[in-house]
Structure 1
Amino acid sequence: MPWLVTSPLWFLTAEWIQSEAGEHGFTLAGKGIFKAAFGEWGALGDAAGDEVADLWGEVVLLIAATLMVQVLLIMAYEVLLLRSWGRTLGKAAFTLTVRRADGGRLNFGQICARTAITVLVPGLGWVLLIAALLWLSVLLGLAGIALLVFSAVECGLLRMSPDGKTSWHDRRIGSVVVSKTWTEQLRQAREFQQRALDGGVTFARQAWEAPQVQQFTQQAQATFQQVRERGRQAIRRDDEQNPGG
């Protein structure tokens, strides 16, 4: 799902590639006219090859950058949901939640470390592998394969724990992925709702008891008393001036 949500980035990438292709086309046309005018037909082919190579290099960089931005956005999604909810939408669909081995919630550092291993490492591996295929680079390909193999192996290094099977990254940061029944999820949702309600009441009480609010309230009450007293005085004066009314 996160990959699908971030897919509109490729529309921007396609526009950039189209723009770069147009610029290189104009540049090549200008060079072609110049070299044809001076009869440098052999150099014209070299210029065309250079422009195509430059364009292809920029295209590969744009593709790799887009993939990397997607990986970073997915990391942000993972960190945000694990921090606030303890699970992603995919884990929620399978009634799974991530927590510390002692039952508590993961702190921000643990979530970032876990996300770096589970999202950044394989994501970077795919970016390097795709760039290697487009650039025909053996070195980048080996680096990408190494990261993907590491990710697959560490996920496959399962070990039984009191809460079930844990991967290497779970044992590394002290987290576990446990299954929760719908009853437990409903109870957790109610607890969250109650905490939110209590927090709202506390915030409202603190805001009401703030010195500025109390001072404003006292001033408003004093103003109201003055207005009411002036009204009474006006009524008494009217009665005195018109005793028979």
Structure 2
Amino acid sequence: MKSALITGANRSIGLETAKQLSKQGIFVYLGSRDLAKGNEVIGTLTEQGFKNIKAIEIDVTNADSIIAAKNIIEQEQGKLDILINNAGVLGVNPQTATETAVDDIKAVFETNFFGVIQVTQTFLDLLKKSDAPRISNITSGLGSLTLHSDPSWKYYQVKAAAYGPSKSALNAYTIVLAYELKDSAFKVNVIDPGYTATDFNHHSGPGTVESAASFIIKHTLTDENGPTGQFFSNDIEDESGISPW
């Protein structure tokens, strides 16, 4: 049975992604900063008939927490097939370029950017033991510099000096990571689930968590001929789903 780790998975898109992966026969580690909250979710899922999902404590801003989670998965699975770096924070609002405190911007980068790097580097050895390792970094359309520079883009007026740049940086890191792993079995991509109604945005988005999770999984469970180093967005109307960087 393949195994997957999803960070920030005790609610919203992460949780729905865990459920859908579980239904496909994959053992899912539901990452949560608070293990009690994660186990509470697992209790509900168990009542709903889910069997192959387990809560695991992981704070992507805490190296010891990440290593502890890695050790648990290594002991139980021996490897990891899928890593979905989903944990993220929005940060304070509003986020103007002229007035947002540097510490507030750093706090967002700590989770959205440096946290992803810490988790990825820590789990790389376990992923290398998989026959078909997959890394999906969950990004946002707000991380696209091309779209942000286009006044005709429907979200052009949505600017956030901490969140947007943190996702742009994540996109850039993913390109480098995918390049370094291009001659291996790895597939490494960034995936934007689209503007989705979640607690994250006070349920203001038009998309559903079901659609968002399905899109993430579609571009994660790719075969050996699948793309790597690509940017997919559920908000792109083109059938390919490929977003400009």
Band of TM-score, shorter chain: under 0.3
Instruction: Tell me which structure has the larger Cα radius of gyration.
Output: 1
- Whichever structure has more helix as a proportion of its residues is 1
What is the TM-score when the length of structure 1 is the normalising length?
A: 0.23
Query: Which structure dedicates a bigger proportion of its chain to strand?
Result: 2
